[in-house]
């Protein structure tokens, strides 16, 4: 009988420990607000003027509570949201007898109060939340790739790597029939590959259309199998599109240039395997401390 009682006590202890262990450790200030239902001083919270894209989660248990798109300026001194993620917030009458308290539905953490009828937004609702009750998870950027060939890839890369929203650039080869080509193979002109720049970019900061416009502005799209003094099939003008949207945007821009009188030689080809060039080709002009000799910016589109 004693063994059974001891086992029950141990199991109860383990259940309490596992429930407690799943919560984040709180600071003295966080415990004051979250567990003792205190309030941080107005205009002092880190999220009061914070408007980055992402999700605001419960500081205690990590449950998602509010979307950044529902946050607004209220000038009240605390983060304000006119909506909450469905089912994540519970309400109850505050101890003062007239305000409505809001708590995390998962762990019961005190968040703040909710107010109705103030007219701040169309939803006419304000969740007034303490910053210390929250932890922010930024929206992870979904990066995309673009591939442009327009003469010597040194110059193409030089212009793209300076754009805000471009995460990285790599020069290499695409469009040919030889696997793992080296630079010395491609310059012979019989591999079918074009010198190509791979652009990794954040579409939330820069659009594919902006990238494609720059491509047409930094090289002469009317030249066939050459760019300036560089002559050969490997220097042809090509946009290697990764999907239908990129292809349609490129086609639209080509039509605009044709209507302006340009005899556009740029081809559109579906992106294939990309082979990075040797390291000494990467960021070539930055390493040399010089500028491109055959890629000069020329505005060809009306902004």
Question: What phi and psi, each to the nearest 5 degrees, are found at residue 59?
Answer: -65, -30
> CATH 3.30.1060.10: does it fit domain 144-288?
yes
Rounded distance between C-alpha atoms, residue 148 and residue 192, angstroms: 15
Angle between helices 244-259 and 208-218 (to 10 degrees): 40
The pLDDT of residue 284 = 80
CA distance 101 to 94: 5
Is CATH 3.40.50.300 correct for 25-138?
no
Domain positions in the chain are 25-138, 144-288
Catalytic status, residue 104: no
Q: How far apart are CA 76 and CA 98, in angstroms?
A: 19
Catalytic entry in 58, 104, 107, 128? 128
Enumerate the β-bridge partners of residue 138: 54
Whether 144-288 and 25-138 are alike in CATH topology: the answer is no
pLDDT given for residue 174 in this prediction: 96
> Would you state the pLDDT for residue 77?
96
Q: Which two tokens stand for residue 120?
A: 């701040």
Chain mean position to CA 196: 24
pLDDT digits (tens, 9 = 90+) for 17-60: 344 557 899 999 999 999 999 999 999 999 999 999 899 999 99
Distance between CA atoms of 225 and 194, rounded to whole angstroms? 10
pTM of the full structure: 0.60
Active site residue 58: no
Low-confidence ranges of the chain (pLDDT < 70): 1-21, 303
User: Residues 58, 61, 104, 152: which is the catalytic one?
Assistant: 152
Residue 210: the pLDDT is 97
- Predicted confidence at residue 16, as pLDDT, reads 41
Distances (CA, A) of 8 to 14, 15, 19, 20, 205: 10, 11, 17, 18, 58
Residue 2's pLDDT is 44
Sign of CA dihedral 172, 175, 181, 183: negative
How many CB atoms neighbour CB 237 within 10 A?
24
């Amino acid at each position: 009988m004693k063994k059974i009682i001891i086992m029950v006590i141990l199991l109860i202890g383990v259940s309490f420990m596992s429930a407690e262990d799943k919560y984040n450790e709180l600071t003295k200030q966080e415990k004051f607000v979250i567990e003792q239902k205190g309030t941080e001083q107005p205009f002092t919270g880190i999220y009061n003027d914070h408007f980055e894209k992402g999700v605001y989660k419960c500081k205690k248990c990590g449950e998602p509570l509010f979307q950044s798109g529902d946050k607004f300026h209220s000038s009240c001194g605390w983060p304000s949201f006119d909506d909450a993620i469905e089912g994540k917030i519970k309400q109850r009458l505050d101890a003062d007898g007239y305000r409505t308290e809001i708590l995390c539905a998962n762990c019961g953490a005190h968040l703040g109060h909710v107010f109705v009828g103030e007219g701040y937004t169309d939803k006419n609702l304000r969740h007034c939340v303490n910053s210390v009750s929250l932890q922010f998870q930024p929206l992870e950027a979904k990066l995309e790739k673009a591939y442009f060939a327009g003469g010597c890839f040194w110059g193409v890369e030089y212009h793209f790597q300076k754009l805000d929203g471009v995460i990285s650039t790599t020069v290499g080869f695409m469009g040919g029939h030889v696997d793992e080509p080296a630079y010395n193979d491609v310059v012979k002109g019989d591999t079918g590959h074009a010198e190509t720049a791979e652009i990794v970019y954040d579409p939330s900061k820069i659009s594919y259309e902006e990238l494609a416009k720059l491509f047409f502005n930094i090289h002469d799209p009317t030249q066939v199998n050459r760019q300036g003094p560089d002559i050969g099939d490997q220097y042809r003008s090509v946009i290697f599109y990764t999907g239908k949207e990129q292809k349609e945007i490129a086609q639209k821009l080509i039509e605009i240039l044709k209507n302006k009188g340009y005899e556009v030689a740029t081809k559109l080809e579906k992106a294939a395997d990309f082979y990075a060039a040797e390291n000494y080709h990467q960021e070539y002009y930055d390493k040399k401390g010089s500028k491109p000799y055959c890629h000069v910016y020329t505005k060809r589109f009306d902004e």
